[in-house]
């Protein structure tokens, strides 16, 4: 037990977050995402499942510990709705608000076509799978630097 760490971040996820370096991506995905298959190809080969946790709760907990990169325009990338690349769903808007609040700035969020997102996820450090029920609740989060 440690102070100041959100309770849904267990030892395995804490290890992943601490092990990542600047510029590494973390895939935060929903329940429909092929997480086990993708995780097998990631840098760490790790899949962390957050049972009973939606994307909002996961993002809020992650951003307590996880700095987003300030050296890139879009440290958050989302999976596009198939055939509707400019459509923003509620889950996308929610993560945008959570990221902005955590970083005290407007955080850039880009989109990736579904298959491009799968390919980029295989290059991530690890995969964190929620039980999010809303479709397209899939994000890549680029880790930043802590300057203090």
Residue 69 domain-assigned (yes or no): yes
Catalytic site residue from 22, 97, 105, 115: 22
Residue 60 domain-assigned (yes or no): yes
107-137: b (≥16 Cβ within 10 Å) or e = bbbebbeeeebbebbbebbbbbbbebebebb
Kindly report the CATH number assigned to the domain that includes residue 88: 3.40.1650.10
Residue 4 domain-assigned (yes or no): no
Query: What residue numbers bound the domain in which 23 lies?
Result: 11-138
* pLDDT (tens digit per residue) in 54-101: 999 999 999 999 999 999 999 999 999 999 999 999 999 999 999 999
Report the domain count for the chain. Answer: 1
Q: What is the largest CA-CA distance in the chain?
A: 46
Residue 67 domain-assigned (yes or no): yes
22 included as an active-site residue: yes
Tell me what pLDDT residue 80 has: 98
Residue 52 domain-assigned (yes or no): yes
Residue 2 domain-assigned (yes or no): no
């Amino acid at each position: 037990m440690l102070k100041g760490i959100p309770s849904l971040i267990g030892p395995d996820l804490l290890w992943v977050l601490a092990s990542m370096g600047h510029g590494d991506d973390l895939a935060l995905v929903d329940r429909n995402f092929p997480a086990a298959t993708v995780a097998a190809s990631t840098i760490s080969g790790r899949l962390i499942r957050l049972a009973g946790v939606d994307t909002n709760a996961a993002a809020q907990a992650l951003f307590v510990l996880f700095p987003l990169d300030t050296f890139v325009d879009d440290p958050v990338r989302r999976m596009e709705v198939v055939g509707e690349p400019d459509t923003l769903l509620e889950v996308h808007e929610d993560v945008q608000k959570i990221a902005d609040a955590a970083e005290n700035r407007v955080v850039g969020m880009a989109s990736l076509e579904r298959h491009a997102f799968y390919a980029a996820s295989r290059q991530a450090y690890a995969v964190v799978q929620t039980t999010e029920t809303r479709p397209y609740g899939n994000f890549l989060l680029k880790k930043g630097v802590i300057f203090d």
